[in-house]
Every structure is written in C-alpha cells, then in structure tokens.
Amino acid sequence: MEAWKNKVLNSLDGVKKVGPPEGNLLKIKEKIKERKSKEIHKQQSQWMPVAAVIVMLLCANVFVVSNYFSYQNDMEQVSDSYSDMISDFNIYE
C-alpha cells in the first residue's frame, strides 16, 4: 500500500508548474474596474425611480388635501344656506 502511494506522489516530480500568461493579470484587473464602475452607475440609477415615486406620492397627497379643504369650505357654505332656509320655515317651533 505504501509503495502505491509513493508511486503516485513521485509521478508528479517531473511536471512543470503552470502559470497564467503574463497579460492575464492586467486583463482581470481591468475587468474588475469595469464591473465596479458599472455597479456604481447602476446604484446611482436605481435611486431615480425611487425618487420619482416619492415625488408622485407627495404631489398626490397635496392634491388630495387641497381638494379635501375646498370640499369642506363648500359644505360649510351649503350648510349655512340650509340653516337660513330652515330657520325661515320655523318647522320645529
């Protein structure tokens, strides 16, 4: 059993070590820089839809609140005119 292990381990003695081509490290570094710049650009562009939705919600809320207050003013005017009509008829006296 020992001889078999030694034979297998010794069979790798004459093998040359393989290394990457010299230009590959630079290519890898350039690709990493490109990916980082794309990620930064992507992160910046992801905030635009979020900001647009927030602005739309704010505008919708302002619209609803302004309509609510104008409706309240209209209802006060209508109730004032009804109270004048009802007081003239003296229904409950």
pTM equals 0.39
Encoded amino acid at 45, one letter: S
How many Å is the maximal CA-CA distance in the chain? 123
* pLDDT-based confidence at residue 52 (cuts at 50, 70, 90): very high
- Number of domains composing the chain: 1
Q: Is residue 8 part of a domain?
A: no
pLDDT at 59: 95
Helix (H) or strand (E) holding 73: helix 24-89
Q: How confident is the model over 54-90, as pLDDT tens digits? A: 999 999 999 998 888 777 767 666 666 666 666 656 6
- Find the distance separating the first CA and the last CA of the chain, reported in whole Å: 120
Structural domain includes residue 14: no
Residue 38 located in a structural domain = yes
The residue range of the domain holding 76 is 29-85
